[in-house]
Amino acid sequence: MFRSLARVAFAVTLATAPLAAIPGWGTPAAAAAASCRQPVVYFDLGNVLIDTSDWSHVRYEPGALAYLNELRTRDVAVGLIVNIPESWGATQQEKLATMQQYIADRWAESEPFVWSYFDGRVVLPDTDAERKPAPVLFERALTQSAPCRPYYQGEVAAELSVAAQVGLRTYQVGRDGQPFYLPAAQLRRR
């Protein structure tokens, strides 16, 4: 009897309440599900997209550029969430320029790193206290990606855990027996 009454009460709530008043509606996840048109994938940089095992000869991780190109052909927006020192600049633009020059000075590939793929979607800490695994950078990525719920691909389990707690979908790259990157066909808009 009580279950029947609960079902009726819930049905009446669904029929009469504004969507924002219904549990699960009016939340960022519900808004993303309703209107996200383009999946968004953020990456860590070192040991994810670029091989930093030898800082004097930095290069793409095997398959990284092909994966980024595949994401672009599938109309997937890509971004970076990167820890860099606070001392690399007073502004986000200075920090980004310093990071780009730091990589360029050590780049071993014939073609430069494709920074243009990430235009407008590079999340860097303002202070050392904001560096991952602190949640701040993941929160910024989530806000920048609204109404979409973005993905984060990285190699550090603690960072992935915090990203998931903030609300990003996560994938740990480089696990044995798994594709290095999340297969592009598995990316969802919601």
Report pLDDT digits (tens) over 18-37: 333 333 334 554 544 557 88
Mean pLDDT of the residues in the chain: 86
Residue 8 has pLDDT above 60, yes or no: no
Greater model confidence, 32 or 165: 165
Residue 126 has a CB neighbour count (10 Å cut-off) of 15
**Which H or E run includes 28?**
helix 28-35
Residue for token digits 């994966």? 67
Residue type, 39: P
Tell me the mean pLDDT in the region 46-52: 97
Q: Which amino acid is at 31?
A: A
Q: In sequence order, which residues have a C-beta less than 8 Å from that of residue 34 and are 6 or more positions away?
A: 147
Give me the amino acid identity at 97: A
pTM over 0.85: no
pLDDT at 37: 87
What domains can you pick out in the chain, each with its CATH number? 1-35 (no CATH), 37-186 (3.40.50.1000)
| Structure confidence at residue 190 as a pLDDT band (50, 70, 90) | low
Calculate mean pLDDT across residues 134-158: 97
pLDDT average, residue stretch 49-63: 96
Mind listing the pLDDT tens digit for each residue in 78-118? 999 999 999 999 999 999 999 999 999 999 999 999 999 99
- Kindly indicate the confidence band of residue 6, based on its pLDDT and cuts at 50, 70 and 90: very low
Amino acid at 139: E
